[in-house]
């Protein structure tokens, strides 16, 4: 079956003897993430392969799983590749995404290259698009010296905690995402091509309107619902990035990082924005309420080298805290929402 943007890339299964020395625990009352800690440095890919069905069920219940063993595993990134392969054979691509990241190999990316002194607000990958990866896999190759956490937010909890009047308005009106390229992330880097025609074809296939501005800048428009239903659990989840895309969220730190001249305007500096589905402006006060609820519902843990974090992209949003010193978190994405929904319809 063709999978469009999120095309299956293929990964070999891990075939490793099984070991059983892992205990379940949690660092937060909400059990996000659910943590699996080994008593010693074990063969985690083999353990994951042997417990695939149970881990899938736990992921649907808790939204995120953290796999941890004492010290950094001697097999490093190949272990990460094998863990991912043990849970999913359907890796997907990232062309057209809004994040600033680089491709490490055919199926692996850097988690983010956003300035390290700035927060990355909580989000679900590609929630602003018609299709998205269902699974995210993060691997801590180099732990930050301080902070640099990948905080997590239960999107089901957001559905309960966001005031009903705001939740109803988002559900009724939907959202229009406006994304600008050619500022801090070029369209060539985002879509991994230098061809305008190819970009236009990709966007047309995804229901995204294209506008070329000036010599070589791209702006796209895409209407999306603000609330989605998980195709496996059937639960409604808060699934949008209004609190991150809205121009009111450009704080002093972001302005300083993006500015090249005192004459820069907000529209020049902030390439993304979000409106109600009909194109009318969203009151910044509404965005502020949503942002406050998101932060109140967010938990975090400190990375250790060798950690693997598995996130259900619809059930759980993620972000990044500022940090100093080195930090290298790798990312793989798997399983197209559109294909999974079609299979279950």
Residues 6+ apart with CB under 8 A from 46: 14, 16, 17, 18, 19, 86
Please calculate the CA angle 4-96-113 and round it to the nearest 5 degrees: 135
β-strands 34-38, 64-68 pairing: parallel
Half-sphere exposure of 319 (CA within 13 A, CB side): 24
Domain ranges of the chain: 22-153+302-344, 157-294
The 3-state secondary structure of 67-95, one letter per residue: EECCCCCCCHHHHHHHHHHHHCCCECCCC
Please calculate the CA angle 175-181-183 and round it to the nearest 5 degrees: 120
250: its two tokens: 């450009």
The CATH class that applies to domain 22-153+302-344 reads: alpha beta
Residues 6+ apart with CB under 8 A from 292: none
| Model pLDDT, residue 330 | 94
| Model pLDDT, residue 253 | 65
In whole angstroms, give the CA distance from residue 306 to residue 138.
Answer: 10
Same fold for the pair 22-153+302-344 and 157-294: yes
Is domain 157-294 annotated with CATH 3.40.50.720?
no
| 10-residue stretch averages of pLDDT, the chain, 345 residues long | 42 38 78 86 85 95 90 64 92 68 79 82 92 95 93 97 98 94 73 89 90 82 96 96 86 63 59 91 96 96 93 97 93 92 82
| Model pLDDT, residue 184 | 57
DSSP letters spanning 196-228: HHHHHHHHHHTT-EEEEETTTEEEEEEEE-SEE
| Model pLDDT, residue 24 | 86
């Amino acid at each position: 079956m063709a999978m469009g943007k999120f095309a299956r890339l293929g990964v070999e299964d891990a075939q490793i003897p099984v070991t059983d020395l892992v205990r379940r625990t949690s660092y937060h009352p909400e059990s996000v993430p659910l943590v699996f800690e080994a008593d010693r440095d074990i063969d985690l890919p083999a353990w994951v392969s042997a417990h695939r069905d149970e881990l899938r069920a736990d992921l649907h219940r808790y939204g995120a799983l953290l796999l941890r063993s004492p010290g950094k595993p001697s097999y490093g990134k190949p272990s990460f590749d094998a863990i991912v392969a043990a849970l999913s054979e359907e890796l997907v691509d990232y062309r057209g995404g809004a994040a600033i990241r680089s491709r490490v190999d055919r199926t692996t990316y850097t988690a983010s290259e956003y300035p390290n002194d700035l927060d990355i607000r909580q989000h679900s990958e590609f929630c602003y698009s018609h299709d998205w990866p269902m699974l995210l896999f993060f691997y801590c190759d180099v732990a930050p010296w301080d902070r640099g956490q990948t905080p997590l937010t239960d999107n089901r909890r957001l559905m309960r905690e966001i005031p009903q009047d705001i939740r109803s308005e988002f559900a009724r009106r939907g959202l229009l995402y406006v994304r600008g390229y050619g500022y801090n992330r070029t369209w060539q880097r985002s879509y991994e091509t230098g061809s305008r025609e190819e970009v236009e074809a990709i966007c047309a296939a995804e229901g995204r309107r294209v506008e070329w501005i000036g010599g070589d800048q791209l702006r796209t428009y895409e209407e999306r619902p603000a609330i989605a239903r998980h195709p496996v659990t059937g639960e409604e989840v808060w699934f949008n990035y209004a609190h991150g895309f809205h121009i009111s969220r450009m704080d002093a730190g972001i302005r300083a990082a993006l500015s090249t001249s005192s004459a820069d305007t907000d529209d020049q500096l902030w390439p993304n924005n979000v409106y109600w589905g009909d194109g009318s402006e969203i009151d910044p006060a509404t965005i502020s309420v949503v942002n406050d609820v998101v932060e109140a519902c967010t938990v975090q843990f400190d990375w250790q080298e060798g950690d693997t974090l598995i996130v259900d992209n619809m059930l759980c949003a993620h972000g990044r805290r500022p940090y100093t010193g080195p930090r290298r978190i790798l990312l793989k994405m798997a399983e197209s929402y559109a294909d999974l929904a079609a299979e279950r319809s």
